[in-house]
Structure 1
Amino acid sequence: MTSSIALRPEGTVYDYIVCGGGTSGSVVAARLAEDPNNSVLVIEAGQHNSLLENTVMAGGWKNNFDTEADWNIITEPNPGANGRQVKASRGRFLGGSSGVNGTLCIRGTKQDYDDWNMPGWSGNEVFGYMKKAENFHTKKWFKADENAHGYDGLLNIEPHDLAPISNLILDSMQSQGMPLQPDMFTTGDNPHGCGHAPRTVYKGDRATAADYLLNKGPNLAIKTDTTVDKVILEGKDSDLKATAVRVIEKDGTSREIKANKEIIVSGGAYCSPTILLRSGIGPKSQLESHGIDCKVDLPGVGKNLMDHLIVFIFYSTTKPNITNDHLLYRPGAIAEAYRQWKVEKRGPLSAFPFGAFAFARLDERLKSEPLWNSASRKEGRDPMGLTPSQPNVEFFSTECYGGPKQYAEPPNGETTHAFSLIAELFAPKSRGSVTLKSADPKDNPVVDHNYLAEELDVLVLSEACKFANEIITQGKGTADIVEGSWPAKLTHHKNTKREDWVPFVKDNATTCYHPGGTCKMGSNDDKMAVLDHELKVRGVKGLRVADTSVMPLLNQGHTQMPAYAIGEKAADLIKGVFLQLSAEPAAGA
């Protein structure tokens, strides 16, 4: 599924310029180019995806990390996580992080988007755009909610065939009070249950946003290996207009490319704010400290950084062939797995090794916690700001070891096997920031996630880890197969107190790669809002942002499908069209 698009000679003027060929940017560019009267240029800092096999082989995602295909961003030390720095990998190639992510299609709940309180961005509308993006292919065993899926979008999606360990974990989740609803991560109507997460995989290959760019006409140009320095603004004060983009070519030379109509910044939650900042849009004091002339004093640029924090909890078992370790770690196994994918489009490298999934509310588990009870809350909301229809946490499993790189000795796949259950924190209270290291576009931004700065985040995530451990050590499907943890220092017992999980969380929490919020939408009276509800940058004509940086709040799910929805919605906003939403059956129908 490599791209067939040739790198066409670029001109000097286009109607639309999209700065960033990642998930949202590829969607925007492709949709705008569907009108043959529009000339569209998409500019990508990294390579063309057709040069990177590991963007198509879902099981090869890690081979893109720590290379030129990764932005190689490392966070600032996080005091709440014992001062640790976290590697915040992002895809740096056409298709962006859609080529390295977990392939998960977990939309969240409609309330998540209603909470944005932005015209045109209700839960029904955002779910409609996620559905528009989707070309769903079911499987005989999967009980799909057929009305919730899309079937004529440009993004191929299918259910994931589970390894035996995942079915056992689903049994354990159900026995621990989370009912099975197979397609709940598409419908978004269950905050406490377990099910299957569809994937952006089809017939053994990963589907990415670069697929949107296939087979488009000559009015779409793609320029890779090119860094966007800044957006050129002309005019003064209330009459500023974005007219061109200054780029740095692969050979280091600089040039300007003009836009007749609009410029759309789609660099992601880390790079979109830095493009704005280098363009003179952002907090005046920060810009002046780097010698940048402030054109629009927008204090919210780079602020409000959010992410979903996760913790891996590993377990070992001697029961053979229930995980996929024997397909990966035995002598010669990886070579055979690669052959299976390359020749037959099957095997452990044809899919991302995540298995069973669940959402959970933690009200009952936290009701005796003093911090939970004393925390302020709005009517109908818990201390994290969530309604009872929104999950506090997510659990998901791995089907093999495949864990953090600091654990260098994997199971041997013959006598030892491993899997993990991951706890993910939703609605974090902690906020971070993205700032400039310098005015040089070759410098990565300074990313300070400020993880676990708020004690409520620590409380909820540690309770989630305790619950996860109970699922595995006490659940019907897994209690009898667990021999211990992997590695041994992670051992926990059935009756571990929540307080015992706090140091574990602070030492082992890592990013789920869901950054957002750094160029957020907001109302006119929100001084920290960077964009209006049409994604237009405040104080500038002809300039929008379209990626997860626009999200005022993260969804209670994963950000891949919202990123596609944002791209689809942005294109419609620019074209001046509206999504026709089909009538939905009443709840319980």
Structure 2
Amino acid sequence: MDTFDYVIVGAGSAGCVLASRLSEDPSVTVCVLEAGPRDWHPYIHLPAGFIKTFYMKSINWGYQQEPGPYTNGRSIYAPRGKTLGGSSSINGHVYNRGQRQDFDTWAQMGNRGWSYSDVLPHFKRMEKRIGAGEDQYRGRDGSLIVTTMEWKDTLCEAFMDGAVSLGIPRNPDYNGAIQEGVSYVQRTIKDGRRVSSATAFLRPASKRPNVEVRTHAHATGVMLDGKRAVGVRYHRGGRGGVPMEVRARKEVILSGGAYNSPQLLQLSGIGAPELLQEHGIEVRHALGSVGEGLQDHYAPRTVARVKNIKTVNELARGLNLWGEALKWAVTRRGILSLSPTMVYCFWHSGETAESSDLQLTFTPASYKEGVQGQLEDEPGMTVASWQQRPESRGYVRLRSADPFAPPLIQTNYLTAELDRRVVVAGMKLARRLLASAPLAPYYAYEDFPGPKVNSDDEFLAAATQRATTTFHPGCSCRMGPADSTWATVDDQLRVHGLQGLRVADASIMPRMISANLNAATLMIGDKAADLILGKAEVESVSA
């Protein structure tokens, strides 16, 4: 049986950073287990390829959520990356850190060392920012390349002018001093190619002799010796593959993400006793918080028909698409080099909101109802709007003791009354933005939710009918003090009551942040490495 100092389960956003940082010491050995294949597929590296990877089961877990009280009986599709780079290899490329208060709130919940001033140095250390941004907030020498979309689109410019006409200012850097405002999206794309955590961190690290990456390695359980984690069981080749084990001299670190990390803990006998017993799993460590507290952003998408100008819908078809493909091949530009979202807008749901609690995105395209990632035939433009800091919480639980069965995922979108109020406010603002004067030459009519929808109840019904995940699951193995009933890990990311076992991914977030989650998940991986190695904290800053 092979033995390493550290075994990392999951080569996703955090896992790749962890492997890179831990292996900087040549005396340390690291093994990374990834259930999926290597990130060889060309659609991973082509920015517009997300439309294809969205449904590719070979590199995507392709989970389904349980219907909830506000999903109109729908089971919402929940893609997750299953390849080197994890979801950073199939996501929408967006780089968005969140607000200062997000991390200060984490610290106020009892997590020492996780305030904004504590985590900012980790964001900066990872990042190679190309473009606007003050060095007080942005990194220039890291491995993760962050650029701003360079395609100056007529509809995007008109949308931003419309936002300004409504009192929302332009903001050259929403990852800087303040998030509020409107701007082109910042993304992890360079020279027309995706920059995933695998390409930025794991690929260079895997060339070191002290790093071994094992793909097609589906983890089935954490090996425990009493209350200490000593290794991981996995199947090489997935279901029907060869059962194998790898041991850890020092620690096992779970970086499988908000769905897979709690599932693996539960499969290992770590979780709520009644749940484990229901599935015939021996209780090795009772910890009722595992899998509880799941949060996600829930977004209705307001769609308007477009006149007098081409949208991405037309450019992505027939001869136009061939022309765009040639453009990308020669110049690495054009629609194949773009993110699915092109403009970001952060604003308030009402006058009493102390900071922006709404996030809106704009794209000069529209998608077929119920089929995300498939463009409509007629010209359209879309604004997605969502509440940044939802209060509703769900859970991730075992569906069965079969480690190859998908977990049961219940998000409980909009079950909190505040969430319902804010999502309605977001839809109303989306309507105002699309109907603003600068967009008038191109705005034909509102297709969804449509002009007949005007009351709060009607907007809420429309959200229930068509809103979907924004693919930002977190908070299912929350970080907090040992005396809390809701926390799974402490502020060092150690699983409460166990030794040699940590969790480092988006699941440890104690509360949802005002952002897409990839940037913060990368930060968690970077900070986790320092915690594991006992390094002094990166010097906090007073930005």
TM-score normalised to structure 1 length: 0.87
User: Is contact 1:519-1:531 (8 Å) kept?
Assistant: yes
Write the distance in 2 (CA, Å) between the matches of 1:555 and 1:408: 25
1:15 partner amino acid: D
Does 1:443 find its partner at 2:405? yes
User: Is contact 2:137-2:177 (8 Å) kept?
Assistant: no
User: Is contact 1:77-1:85 (8 Å) kept?
Assistant: yes
Q: Deviations over 1:109-151 (max 9, x none)?
A: 111111112101011122221222111112xxxx433432111
2:190 partner amino acid: Y
Q: Which residue of 1 aligns with 2:160?
A: 170
Residue 524 of structure 1, CA deviation:
2.2
Write the distance in 1 (CA, Å) between the matches of 2:202 and 2:368: 33
Counterpart of 1:332 in 2: which secondary structure?
helix
Matches within 5 A, 1:364-379: 364=351
Residue 317 of structure 1, CA deviation:
1.3
Q: Which residue of 1 aligns with 2:22?
A: 32
1:391 to 356, 363, 377: 356
2:123 to 125, 130, 154: 130
- Decide whether aligned partners of structure 1 residues 19 and 62 sit closer, same or farther in structure 2, where only a CA change above 3 A counts: same
Q: Which residue of 1 aligns with 2:342?
A: 355
Q: Which residue of 2 aligns with 1:22?
A: 12
User: Is contact 1:312-1:421 (8 Å) kept?
Assistant: yes
Write the distance in 1 (CA, Å) between the matches of 2:326 and 2:272: 53
2:114 to 105, 121, 124: 121
User: Is contact 1:110-1:127 (8 Å) kept?
Assistant: no
User: Is contact 2:147-2:190 (8 Å) kept?
Assistant: yes
Matches within 5 A, 1:183-582: 183=173, 185-187=174-176, 189-190=178-179, 192-211=180-199, 212-216=201-205, 217-235=208-226, 240-250=227-237, 252-321=241-310, 323-329=311-317, 331-364=318-351, 388=354, 390-402=355-367, 405-406=370-371, 410=375, 412=377, 416-473=378-435, 475-485=436-446, 488=447, 490-492=449-451, 496-581=454-539
User: Is contact 1:129-1:579 (8 Å) kept?
Assistant: no
Counterpart of 1:148 in 2: which secondary structure?
coil
Write the distance in 2 (CA, Å) between the matches of 1:243 and 1:404: 48
- Decide whether aligned partners of structure 1 residues 409 and 110 sit closer, same or farther in structure 2, where only a CA change above 3 A counts: closer
Q: Which has the higher strand share?
A: 2
1:363 partner amino acid: G
Write the distance in 2 (CA, Å) between the matches of 1:56 and 1:254: 32
2:527 partner amino acid: K
User: Is contact 2:368-2:374 (8 Å) kept?
Assistant: no
Matches within 5 A, 1:48-59: 48-49=38-39, 51-59=40-48
Counterpart of 2:229 in 1: which secondary structure?
strand
Counterpart of 1:179 in 2: which secondary structure?
coil
Residue 343 of structure 1, CA deviation:
4.1
Write the distance in 2 (CA, Å) between the matches of 1:144 and 1:497: 41
Residue 498 of structure 1, CA deviation:
3.2
Counterpart of 1:484 in 2: which secondary structure?
strand
Q: Which residue of 2 aligns with 1:370?
A: none
Write the distance in 2 (CA, Å) between the matches of 1:158 and 1:497: 40
Residue 363 of structure 1, CA deviation:
2.5
Residue segments in structure 2 that go unaligned for 5+ positions in a row: none
Residue 479 of structure 1, CA deviation:
2.9
Counterpart of 2:148 in 1: which secondary structure?
coil
User: Is contact 1:280-1:295 (8 Å) kept?
Assistant: yes
Mean Cα deviation higher: 454-463 or 29-38: 454-463
Write the distance in 2 (CA, Å) between the matches of 1:336 and 1:556: 38
User: Is contact 2:475-2:506 (8 Å) kept?
Assistant: yes
Q: Deviations over 1:504-526 (max 9, x none)?
A: 11111100111001101111220
Residue 354 of structure 1, CA deviation:
1.3
2:118 partner amino acid: E
Counterpart of 1:451 in 2: which secondary structure?
coil
User: Is contact 1:353-1:398 (8 Å) kept?
Assistant: yes
Counterpart of 2:125 in 1: which secondary structure?
helix
Write the distance in 1 (CA, Å) between the matches of 2:368 and 2:252: 40
- Decide whether aligned partners of structure 1 residues 314 and 522 sit closer, same or farther in structure 2, where only a CA change above 3 A counts: same
Alpha carbon RMSD of aligned pairs, Å?
1.9
Q: Percent identity?
A: 32
Q: Which residue of 2 aligns with 1:375?
A: none
Counterpart of 2:156 in 1: which secondary structure?
helix
User: Is contact 2:51-2:373 (8 Å) kept?
Assistant: no
- Decide whether aligned partners of structure 1 residues 453 and 561 sit closer, same or farther in structure 2, where only a CA change above 3 A counts: same
User: Is contact 2:368-2:376 (8 Å) kept?
Assistant: no
Write the distance in 2 (CA, Å) between the matches of 1:62 and 1:353: 9
Write the distance in 2 (CA, Å) between the matches of 1:410 and 1:279: 42
Write the distance in 2 (CA, Å) between the matches of 1:266 and 1:13: 19
- Decide whether aligned partners of structure 1 residues 255 and 353 sit closer, same or farther in structure 2, where only a CA change above 3 A counts: closer
May I ask how many residue pairs the two structures share in their alignment?
533
Residue segments in structure 1 that go unaligned for 5+ positions in a row: 1-10, 368-381, 383-387
Residue 441 of structure 1, CA deviation:
1.1
TM-score normalised to structure 2 length: 0.94
Mean Cα deviation higher: 194-203 or 111-120: 194-203
Write the distance in 2 (CA, Å) between the matches of 1:333 and 1:226: 41
Q: Which residue of 2 aligns with 1:109?
A: 99
Write the distance in 2 (CA, Å) between the matches of 1:504 and 1:418: 19
Residue 156 of structure 1, CA deviation:
1.0
User: Is contact 1:265-1:544 (8 Å) kept?
Assistant: yes
Write the distance in 1 (CA, Å) between the matches of 2:334 and 2:98: 29
1:336 partner amino acid: G
Q: Deviations over 1:131-181 (max 9, x none)?
A: 22111112xxxx433432111111111011242211111101111121112
Write the distance in 2 (CA, Å) between the matches of 1:301 and 1:408: 32
Counterpart of 2:220 in 1: which secondary structure?
strand
- Decide whether aligned partners of structure 1 residues 497 and 271 sit closer, same or farther in structure 2, where only a CA change above 3 A counts: same
User: Is contact 2:302-2:448 (8 Å) kept?
Assistant: no
User: Is contact 1:18-1:266 (8 Å) kept?
Assistant: yes
Write the distance in 2 (CA, Å) between the matches of 1:127 and 1:70: 31
Write the distance in 2 (CA, Å) between the matches of 1:341 and 1:221: 34
Write the distance in 2 (CA, Å) between the matches of 1:568 and 1:209: 11
Write the distance in 2 (CA, Å) between the matches of 1:114 and 1:148: 16
User: Is contact 1:57-1:341 (8 Å) kept?
Assistant: no
User: Is contact 1:126-1:562 (8 Å) kept?
Assistant: no
Residue 107 of structure 1, CA deviation:
1.2
2:255 partner amino acid: S
Counterpart of 1:147 in 2: which secondary structure?
coil
Counterpart of 2:92 in 1: which secondary structure?
coil
Q: Which residue of 1 aligns with 2:147?
A: 158
Q: Deviations over 1:329-388 (max 9, x none)?
A: 2x2222332333344322111121312211111233xx7xxxxxxxxxxxxxx6xxxxx1
User: Is contact 2:307-2:441 (8 Å) kept?
Assistant: no
User: Is contact 2:308-2:442 (8 Å) kept?
Assistant: yes
Counterpart of 1:524 in 2: which secondary structure?
coil
User: Is contact 1:128-1:579 (8 Å) kept?
Assistant: no
User: Is contact 1:108-1:188 (8 Å) kept?
Assistant: no
Write the distance in 2 (CA, Å) between the matches of 1:219 and 1:514: 33
Does 1:61 find its partner at 2:50? yes
- Decide whether aligned partners of structure 1 residues 542 and 411 sit closer, same or farther in structure 2, where only a CA change above 3 A counts: closer
